[in-house]
Amino acid sequence: MKTTLIGKSGKLIAIKPKTSDMNEELLKSGLTSAILEYSKAIQNKDIQSINYQDKVTYFVTIKDFILLIEFTSTLESKLRNQILELLQKKAEQLLEDFTEETITITKGELILEEIVTQALDESRFGISQPFLDIEIGDFSILHTEDSYVISSSENCDDCITDIADLLDQGLRMDNFEPEDNCFSMYIPYDQFVYYLSIFHKDMISQVGVLKVPKNEDFTLFRLVPLLDREVKKQIFINSDTKMSELIPELTKIYDFDRKEFMFNPEYMSVKFLEKNVKQLEKAIYPLIIGKPIIVIGDRPSTKIIVRTLLLFTQHLSTEVIDWLVHDNQIGLNITGMSKEKYNELVMKKLLDDSITVINLDDGKTKSKYISTYIKKIYDQVKKKSQVLVYAFIGSELEKIAKIAIEINGLALLDESDAIEKLKQIKVETKNESRFGKAIRLALFRNTYLRSILKSALK
């Protein structure tokens, strides 16, 4: 499902989920307003919906606003009508005190988020099922000395050969000994986005496939770390797990979108972060690229810092542990613990030396990373309201993620075309720091992009 909030003049206010092509959305919002006005002037009635071959778009007018709701045509009508009714009800409540002139983009984005979240909660979907329309499949590849054979395929479409080519070439680069025999790839392709979970063993690659519409690219991008973790957990429990059994379970993954406490001072405080963490630029970069962070201190302080750091992970679905109890929880994105617990883990050699550590006892941060770029953006707004800080940082993270998504779309192109396209993306980005972080994010989504990136960035 895709929802867009526009003004009656055609002004684009907010869109959910985020999309990588905002120019297209700006054009659509203006055309939508013009079509609705034309229909009303000529036929003296409003258009309620437009049916396409693979989707249907509904138009809900609320005072100065138009809410566009796009469903895939495969969603059953009873469920569609239920969600529509709830969306309209929530929109009327939350937009009651606003006009097109008084609503800001930031406020509009927060309101649309609230409209959709509340409506889906009441329709019994909630955020535990982030995709209303998702297809699953799986296939296996037998790698031979100089080629490969697709030995089985279930519910996979025409791009399976291109994906198999990419995977086989990548594994040959690693001499069929990848750093991790359980890994994933995120690939935008045509009008869809694919999450591929791969388990490689004894020259056979099992591949599980999640396929969602292109307008869900940002949501799937956010979820990749959680999907990866769930796959690895299941394979660790049972190395004989089949992708055909595992992939259906991934559609039920919980999206840790933390907005329910983001503006509650009991959980989050920019002032407290500013006062207690003096080298924040060392912590920001690992947060942006999804590397783990440890926060050491007393329990109440640690909890606030852990939750406030989520400001810098809005583009990733992030798991946190406020206070570590069991050693096997290490490795989640942000983990709080006592100094005694940290020292115990160091003695047991359970921590990677490269992990970023924020010590609240002395306010110092130990990290091999640094990000002055995002820190400068944070410094511009840190004294403003937490809503504005959240929105301002989120806007920049969204830009980085969109570039990373576009870079991931190069995976199935011929290498020469991919190199030219990447150079074009770099020129259009106009910001070396933003582009560099997008490259790192893209590589985390598909490690086999590295040969293309290496050639293009020489």
20 CB-side CA count, 13 A: 26
pLDDT digits (tens, 9 = 90+) for 311-350: 999 888 888 888 887 766 665 689 999 999 999 999 988 8
Would the CATH topology of 2-122 be identical to that of 270-370?
Answer: no
* Residue with token string 């297209």: 24
pLDDT of residue 128: 46
Of the candidate CATH numbers 3.40.50.11500, 3.40.190.10, 3.40.1080.10, 3.30.70.940, the domain formed by 270-370 belongs to 3.40.50.11500
Which tokens belong to 444? 């985390």
CA nearest to 249, candidates 226, 221, 278: 226
pLDDT recorded at residue 439? 92
DSSP class of residue 240? Answer: T
Residues 2 and 70: beta-carbon distance below 8 Å: yes
For residue range 382-413, list pLDDT tens digits in order: 988 887 888 889 889 989 999 999 999 998 88
- The DSSP symbol for 257 reads -
| CATH number at 2-122 | 3.30.450.70
Bridge partner residues of 242 (DSSP): none
Q: Which tens digit of pLDDT belongs to each residue from 200-226?
A: 988 999 999 999 888 788 889 988 988
Segments of the chain with pLDDT less than 70:
18-24, 26-27, 36, 38-46, 74-76, 120-132, 157-158, 254-266, 327-332, 455-458
| Nearest Cα residue to 205 out of 159, 242, 231 | 242
What does the pLDDT read at residue 126? 39
Q: Map out the domains of the chain as residue ranges.
A: 2-122, 135-250, 270-370, 386-456
Q: Where does residue 44 rank: exposed (0-12), middle (13-18), buried (19+ CB within 10 A)?
A: exposed
Q: Which two tokens stand for residue 105?
A: 């983009």
What pairing do the DSSP bridges indicate for beta strands 320-321 and 192-201?
Answer: unpaired
Q: Quick check: 283 and 358 in contact, CB under 8 A?
A: yes
Q: Which DSSP category does 287 fall into? A: H
3-class state of residue 311 by DSSP: helix
The owner of tokens 């550590």 is: 357
For the domain made up of 135-250, give the CATH fold: Beta-Lactamase (3.30.450)
Instruction: Give 33-75 as a DSSP string.
Output: HHHHHHHHHHHSS---EEE-SSEEEEEEEETTEEEEEEEETTS
Q: Are the C-beta atoms of 222 and 397 separated by less than 8 Å?
A: no
Measuring CA to CA, which residue among 125, 317, 143 is closest to residue 220?
317
Q: What's the CA gap between 387 and 211, in Å, rounded?
A: 33
Strands 135-143 and 148-154: antiparallel
